[in-house]
Structure 1
């Protein structure tokens, strides 16, 4: 907080809040109010976290560790009809004619199907965060980003109406995505 001479205060330590550089950016630390008078010095920030680790605690367990996101390859099952057509067109008798051993037959058929799936079905690499819920998708991340933007605009303008409506939209989107994910899991049983 800046102390100006015309406010009538020339002595004292003042008010100071220190924020780690890795935490600080305009999106996550916002100054709500600041005031300096002969009777009061005030500095109000949004999002202040306090952690206490008692002396008897295991500090290695208590300290929060940042885990890097993991890149994971997933199958995009969008071309199932193409795969189904390809499987319908296969001459399955050729596998029977090629061997008399059941183990070799199974190995050949499974190898052929795996090769057909690899050639037909697309794969994509996604970034998965350690704290990301399994139902979380792109729409929720976009909704949360819009919520943060609406909050920042509301803090600056003093009008939080857009933030409130965006907050309701995020809740609705989360509810819908969770229901869709539940139906997807239930359909697999």
Structure 2
């Protein structure tokens, strides 16, 4: 009977920590990125490129280069038992307690334990006040905080791939593209020609102020597409980027075509239900470039 007693393992030991790389967008780094883009002569890019496809590719890589040059990165370790109210002050206090425990100093260990209890109460109080403030200003953040405090945070569901990942991806592509088998190019040719004949290109001019206002309305949580330009860059550097993007928008409207990257999407499979038993249990979510969505608006 003793061998049938279950052995308890804490979440910290049963689940491995996750290491994530995050970019630090603060006032200093954003100011450096804005200065880097503001001193850029976009005319050099326009004069050196022969077509819109090449210009868009060069501009995208240049923006990513400036972002990597000015925005610092840090590696974050997410433990399975971590709480949202834990701060650096609390982790430092826990480190001091562990150091006192290893040294065998009982007085220092006692003082460190008292300090941790005080800091824990302070951190919980500050997080509670933060959630209460968000109720009036940011209901989404308030709701996320309430779920974290009550312990009803949604569990992330992973996708277990059996066999070769490339074969699994190809099978998903066949499932998602099973309805896209007929080419409607002949049916739409006459319609497109009639539209191009009747349309006046002058009424589709895009000014820089419109592009800047559209960039400033971007939500920061919006995921970037295959072009790699994040919502933070477009929102905070809209004034510096509106000139070149307004030029590319007007060039695209004049030629009646879009760059290839603007029409490309990253398909992310999201589980409809758990567990995932078949390919049809995965819902395709298309992530298009944010610039394309701004042009449509």
TM superposition score normalised by structure 2: 0.33
Return the structure number with greater helix share. Answer: 2
Structure label with greater radius of gyration: 1
